[in-house]
Amino acid sequence: MKHILLENFSQEKCENFHKKFTSNEPFPHLVIDNFLNEESANKILENFSINKNWINCSLVNNYKKYMLTNKNHMNVYCHKLLEELESEEFVKILSKITGMKNIFLDVNLEGGGLHQTFNGGSLNIHTDYYSHTVEKSWRRVINIIIFFNKDWLDKYNGELEFWDANVKNKIQSVPPIFNRCVIFKTDKKSFHGHPKKLNLPPNISRKSMAAYYFIEEKENLKLYPTKYFPRPNDTVFYIFLIHLDTFLNKIYSFLKRWGVLNDRFISKVLDLINFSKNK
């Protein structure tokens, strides 16, 4: 592999990573710094100029967030990294770390790809979609997030937070620093997000790449979209908005599963909503 640093994944390191992954609270996870070689990380950073190809995700729970899932609009370094994340070599490494077998990358990047959130934005605490929206027999089991934020300061907020199973207490907080990779198990109890509003200087955004791994089940799974949850100190009105947005996302996920709507259409709707809000 030319982009993922194999020196991170010797047999001894993988064994240690497995112990950390399985023992970390509040659910299995692992943080690896210097995940990519420096040139590759810098070249992937060049992909984050917002243009018409980015999908608008901004409503309540994903606020001021955009994503790029179409690989045709990513540079060759993104393509090669995704090929490595999909490769048999890396999947074997990931299986050693997580203890999970028969996993595979969603190469179509449903909900994944490049993400960035702008000043004032946030991502509320949530559990990820458990069953793939389109591929009905795929169960999501592992997330990989790679951060591309140089010179990130604590005062910017944006830490990836892991919360307990009752969404009452924050257990872990991971700053999104450049070339840091976070691997974590995703299920109906893996509560995470970056709910603090970003406090960023001009021309700065919170940047990451997300890749999701699945196991194929023998039968179709019930639709289980992303679910968002309030924090203990959220206001009653904001809790209402969180639940309303979650309900709308459930409807959208159902319509998307059956081919009625797609991300590009919803992005245009959200563009109109945000334009009206900002007039």
Question: What tokens were used for 9?
Answer: 């994944």
Domain borders along the chain are: 6-277
Secondary structure (3-state) at 2: coil
Give φ, ψ of 68 to 5 degrees: -125, 110
CATH 2.60.120.620 fits 6-277, yes or no: yes
Q: Judge whether residue 278 has pLDDT over 50.
A: no
- The whole-angstrom separation of Cα 192 and Cα 167 is 9
pLDDT bin (cut points 50, 70, 90) of residue 273 is: confident
What mean pLDDT comes out for the span 170-177? Answer: 98
pLDDT bin (cut points 50, 70, 90) of residue 225 is: very high
Secondary structure (3-state) at 254: helix
Distance (Å) of CA 253 to CA 60, 111, 120, 212: 16, 11, 26, 17
Secondary structure (3-state) at 81: helix
pLDDT, one tens digit per residue, over 37-82 is: 999 999 999 999 999 999 999 999 999 999 999 999 999 999 999 9
Rg (CA), the chain: 18
pLDDT, one tens digit per residue, over 8-31 is: 999 999 999 999 999 999 999 999
Which residues, other chains included, contact 129 with Cβ-Cβ below 8 Å and sequence gap of 6+?
111, 140, 224, 225, 226, 253
What mean pLDDT comes out for the span 92-104? Answer: 97
Q: Judge whether residue 254 has pLDDT over 60.
A: yes
pLDDT bin (cut points 50, 70, 90) of residue 151 is: very high
| Selection from 259, 256, 242 nearest residue 193 by Cα | 242
Secondary structure (3-state) at 208: strand
| Selection from 20, 27, 30 nearest residue 189 by Cα | 27
Cα 95 to chain centroid distance, Å, stands at: 19
Q: Judge whether residue 276 has pLDDT over 50.
A: no
Which residues, other chains included, contact 66 with Cβ-Cβ below 8 Å and sequence gap of 6+?
50, 54, 55, 56, 57, 58, 115, 116, 117, 118
Q: What percent of the chain has pLDDT over 90?
A: 96
Question: What tokens were used for 116?
Answer: 């960035």
Which residues, other chains included, contact 198 with Cβ-Cβ below 8 Å and sequence gap of 6+?
64, 117, 118, 119, 120, 121, 122, 156, 157, 158, 206
Round the average pLDDT of the chain to a whole number and report it.
95
Residue type, 226: T
Which residues, other chains included, contact 124 with Cβ-Cβ below 8 Å and sequence gap of 6+?
60, 61, 62, 193, 195, 228, 229, 230, 242
Secondary structure (3-state) at 162: strand
**Cβ burial, residue 221 (10 Å; 0-12/13-18/19+):** middle
Which residues, other chains included, contact 64 with Cβ-Cβ below 8 Å and sequence gap of 6+?
58, 117, 118, 119, 120, 121, 122, 198
Question: What tokens were used for 244?
Answer: 């309303």
